[in-house]
Amino acid sequence: MANTFGQLFRTTTWGESHGDAIGVIVDGCPPQMKLDVQDIQKELDRRRPGQSEISTQRKEGDQAEILSGIFEGKTLGTPIMIGVWNRDAKSKDYDHMKDKYRPSHADYSYDAKYGIRNWKGGGRASARETIGRVASGAIAKKFLFQEFGLEIVAYVKQIWEIQANIDIDVVTQDDVESNIVRCPDQDIAIRMIERIKEARKDGDSLGGIVECVARNVPPGLGEPVFDKLEADLAKAVLSLPACKGFEVGSGFGGVVLTGSQHNDAFYSEDSRIRTKTNNSGGIQGGISNGENIIIRAAFKPTATIMKSQESVDVNGNPITIEGRGRHDPCVLPRAVPIVESMMALVLADHALRHRGQTGT
């Protein structure tokens, strides 16, 4: 289901970056849950471009409207339709992009697949599509918190070669929001901000890693063998623009440990079975074990840069593409609420599925 994610808690996004509007349908959300447009807007505001001096300076208002599925402030259990109008999209001149394939954008591959594309912008490949995901994720997060006290916190773990040191068990969203790069290691954050400013000056861009933790996850979520919890998390994360890698728990670093170093010993605490270490990242055999779920997403540097680049036009003729307008030197700070949202969509869906199959 190309534009739909989830089986019981289902998210369908729609809209091109330079069409009239963009949005999402959330189908399967439990009924009788209090929901206000502000619950959604506050997360869209975290995702919005132009929040700080290190982000793109494009200003997008991104005001959400809820068009269905809510009655007297509560969810009906029917599809929740949320739209955001692309107010500024039409005023600009994009004719120079019409015949060009921008390097490491999706211009060529969309043409190869569909034989047509909205060349006025990234279309569905634009990061603007994630508006719908963040809106749906805001609802999923609210459900998970109400139902289980489950909380999800993501932050920037690495920008370029600059890596932060963060205590994943205690970091809060307030810590994350305390600086504009959304890295709760304050000293490292300063270095990251400097490096991003430098990249902007160079007309270049930077990638990095977002780490995300879910705490108070009930044991039992995940459906082996194909819908293992980590498999759906990996899909969720790799479906994001610019994402090139995913890890859970020990991840790639775990391959240099031996089994005796890597195994998480069980112990008992307050009549709950726990593990002393958490190399498993809160998931064993595809099912949550009640420990914190820890994932990491690697984002490549964004493709839009202000340097001139070699490329071809739609006929294969060599061209040079010049940087033009404004660019976002590093999307990582804005990716933080997006990764949280994807984690929330997976957990909410699996919570409903688990309840469906087992009654618990």
Binding to a copy of itself (CB under 8 A): which residues in 184-223? 199, 202, 204-209, 219-223
CA atoms within 13 A on the CB side of 110: 18
Count of residues that bind a copy of itself according to CB under 8 A: 152
Stretch that binds a copy of itself, among 50-58, 175-183, 224-232, 333-341 (CB under 8 A): 224-232
Q: How many CB atoms sit inside 10 A of residue 356's CB?
A: 10
**In this chain, which of 95, 167, 174, 310 binds a copy of itself, going by CB under 8 A?**
310
Residue 292 interacts with a copy of itself (CB under 8 A): yes or no: no
Residue 155 interacts with a copy of itself (CB under 8 A): yes or no: no
Q: Which residue has the tokens 């039409």?
A: 90
Q: How many angstroms separate the CA atoms of 76 and 74, rounded?
A: 6
Minimum Å gap between C-beta 176 and a copy of itself is: 19
**In this chain, which of 191, 197, 300, 326 binds a copy of itself, going by CB under 8 A?**
300
Q: CA angle at residue 341 from 301 to 353, to 5 degrees? A: 135
DSSP string, 318-335: EEEEPP-S---S--HHHH
DSSP annotation of 78: S
Residues 52-111 that bind a copy of itself (CB under 8 A): 65, 67-69, 71, 74-79, 81, 83, 101, 103-106, 108-110
CA atoms within 13 A on the CB side of 351: 24
Q: How many angstroms separate the CA atoms of 31 and 70, rounded?
A: 9
Q: How many angstroms separate the CA atoms of 102 and 104, rounded?
A: 6
Minimum Å gap between C-beta 190 and a copy of itself is: 19
Minimum Å gap between C-beta 241 and a copy of itself is: 8
Helices 37-47 + 130-148 axis angle, to 10: 130
Residues 226-265 that bind a copy of itself (CB under 8 A): 226-228, 230-239, 241, 243-252, 254-265
Residue 38 interacts with a copy of itself (CB under 8 A): yes or no: no
The pair of three-digit structure tokens given for residue 142, joined into one six-digit string: 């609210």
Minimum Å gap between C-beta 80 and a copy of itself is: 8
Minimum Å gap between C-beta 48 and a copy of itself is: 19
Q: 65: which strand partners?
A: 83
